[in-house]
Structure 1
Amino acid sequence: MFEMEVRGMTVDKLLRRWPAALGVLVAVGTVLGVEHGGQIASVVAASGFVYLAAVAIGRPGAAWAAFGVTFVLVGLSLRAGFDAVLWICVAAAGLAVLGALRAGVRPVWSLPLQSAAMLVLGAAALLAVRADHLAAGVIVSVALFAHAAWDVWHHRTERVVTRSFAEFCGVLDVLVGVGLLVVTLTR
């Protein structure tokens, strides 16, 4: 593609890192202005939702579309006081039912595994919304760090979601988790 080099890296190699760059951009936008971990608990629910959506629909690329939906919901949650966690969890239950109806489309382990992950992440998000400042910040950060490990596993195995989405989500989860810990421990 491009042969120009920037400090030892070709432009082509840099362009292949667009998911990480997008993850940084979305993470910064998410953490700016956050005062309480409960404010971004919806990010935890969204992280499970997008993987469940990809499995239920049977297309790894569906994670990007599901992210688009959750991006709007999380944005409403941050800017308009909308409780996105509950709506994401309800939508996830619907996706699990849809996935069960399409049971022959994927490996048998996939839907139960992603449903269990969504259940854990949804419960953590619901708990964080109702917790005090310190507990909410820790719950959300730990959940995001755990999901980042989930992202790495999916990136390496190339299962459930596209590699680009797993890379994006891993960067997003780590940076939001770190940013939230800083906010939580300094306020």
Structure 2
Amino acid sequence: MFEMESAMAASPGGTLLRRWPVALGALVAVGTVLVLHHGGQAASVVAASGFVYLAAAATGRPGAAWAAFGVTFVLVGLGLAPTGFDPVPWICAAALGLAAVGVVRVGLRPAWSLPLQAAAMLVLGAAALLAVRADHVTGGIVVSVALFAHAAWDVWHHRTGRVVPRTLAEFCGVLDVLLGVGVLVVTLTM
């Protein structure tokens, strides 16, 4: 049995199965860049990136990050569609409620969990709100910088194995870097 698992892990298909978060992150990033008219449109992804980590910390369950990603994926999609819907204030308001529930549910300890994720959400939410209200160039640059900063956050969480599953940190890191580059290209070439 172990020999079969080792052979599968060494095969190209086994490697692909282990790297599905990378493939999914790349797919979501490319799909997002292809629908952008300007970089500021990706501001909701910045807010969502903080929200998914906050969801895991507020519930005390790392897997809650994937459920939160599902919710924000729908909201971000609605925001990118020509509906006029802006998901950023909704994600920020939901984060505020989630942080309050988290304080009651899991408390403020350990310090690297809910307090740190709430602070990160505050910074990312503020960046997203600024990007939405700024001109297209400024908004795009703010989004890119925030995504690159969050990619560093993802790497730290992936290395430490804290707060979110490593698969989510890996997915999010790839998404943030590729989308950050894409947003920068869209912003500087428009």
TM-score class, shorter-chain normalisation, is over 0.9
- From 23, 28, 31, the equivalent of 2:30 is 28
CA contact (8 A) 2:54 2:117 kept: yes
Distance (Å, rounded) in 2 between the aligned partners of 1:69 and 1:50: 9
Moved over 2 A (4+): 1-5, 8-11, 103-106
CA contact (8 A) 1:58 1:106 kept: no
Distance (Å, rounded) in 1 between the aligned partners of 2:44 and 2:160: 27
CA change 1:113–1:4 in 2 (3 A) is closer
- Indicate yes or no: 2:100 matched with 1:97: yes
- TM-score if structure 2 supplies the norm length? 0.92
Match of residue 45 from structure 1? 47
For 1:102, what is the secondary structure of its paired residue?
Answer: helix
Match of residue 124 from structure 1? 127
Match of residue 173 from structure 2? 170
- From 107, 112, 117, the equivalent of 2:115 is 112
Distance (Å, rounded) in 2 between the aligned partners of 1:2 and 1:155: 23
Q: Gaps spanning 5+ residues in structure 2: where? A: none
- From 27, 50, 55, the equivalent of 2:57 is 55
Deviates more, 1:118-127 or 1:75-84: 75-84
1:36, distance to aligned residue in structure 2 (A): 1.4
- TM-score if structure 1 supplies the norm length? 0.94
Matches for 1:152-167 after TM superposition, within 5 Å: 152-167=155-170
One-letter identity of the residue aligned with 2:41:
Q
1:26, distance to aligned residue in structure 2 (A): 0.6
> Which deviations, in whole Å up to 9, do the C-alpha atoms of 1:97-137 show, x marking residues without a partner?
01100235952431110000000000000000011111011
Match of residue 139 from structure 1? 142
Match of residue 179 from structure 1? 182
Aligned length: 185
1:15, distance to aligned residue in structure 2 (A): 1.2
Match of residue 88 from structure 1? 91
